[in-house]
A = this chain, B = another copy of it.
């Protein structure tokens, strides 16, 4: 899952999730691993990219359609994680849903 996602030709969709964490793990790491596993089994999932440093974490997930994003949003385990995110894990976050229109890849 780590690295650069090998997405198909656009158009497809991206969810950009940028977050600032609270202190301590509080079950976050285990949940995050589980969510990656579940998302990647979801219909319409195309890939995921994730990086975190002292400032913020950015996770971008890629999807075939808006409908596949909606289905993932409604996934039961994911809904529990969303709720815990707001009460325990995140100080703040932004979530943006985008239509990817162009892409370029470079490899040395």
Residues of A within 8 A of B (CB): 2-5, 7, 10, 14, 16, 18-20, 22, 49-53, 55-58, 60, 86, 90-108
Question: What are the residues of chain B within 8 A of A53 when measuring CB–CB?
Answer: 51-53
**Shortest Cβ gap from A34 to chain B (Å):** 19
**Shortest Cβ gap from A72 to chain B (Å):** 14
Contact A91 B108 (CB under 8 A): yes
The 8 Å CB contact of A105, one of B92, B100, B102, B105, is: B92
Alpha-carbon distance A94/B51, docked complex (angstroms): 14
List the 7 closest pairs (A to B, CB-CB), nearest first: A98-B98, A51-B51, A2-B55, A97-B102, A58-B58, A92-B107, A96-B103
**Shortest Cβ gap from A89 to chain B (Å):** 10
Contact A99 B99 (CB under 8 A): yes
Question: What are the residues of chain B within 8 A of A14 when measuring CB–CB?
Answer: 14, 16, 96, 98
Contact B18 A60 (CB under 8 A): yes
